Amino acid sequence: MSVHSIDQQYRNWLVKAPLGLVLTGLGASLISDAAITRYSGAPTLRWVGYGTLALTVFNSGLCILADAAKHRAHYERLRE
């Protein structure tokens, strides 16, 4: 494989891994905040919308983190 391909895999991992971790943590925090909003007596539409957004952020973080792991595996394979 070319050096460009190896470098590209590494750069993709280097960007996506921290981004996935940040979004996963943010999503988890938003989920707990949405739960607090629900139990504080907020209207249903408010906490459902907020919770849906929170789950979207959390799942996006997991997807990006999984993609980063894929890039790291490709990088390790290409280095050999």
CA distance 14 to 21: 12
What pLDDT is recorded for position 32? 98
41: number of Cβ within 10 Å: 7
Predicted local distance difference test score (pLDDT) of residue 2: 73
Look at the chain and report how many structural domains it folds into: 1
Is there a domain that residue 16 lies in? Answer: no
pLDDT tens for the chain, residues 1 to 80: 577 899 999 999 999 999 999 999 999 999 999 999 999 999 999 999 999 999 999 999 999 999 999 999 999 999 88
Domain around 35: 23-78
Tokens of 6: 């190896």
Query: How confident is the model at residue 49, as a pLDDT?
Result: 97
Residue 43, in any domain of the structure: yes
Answer yes or no: is 7 within a domain. Answer: no
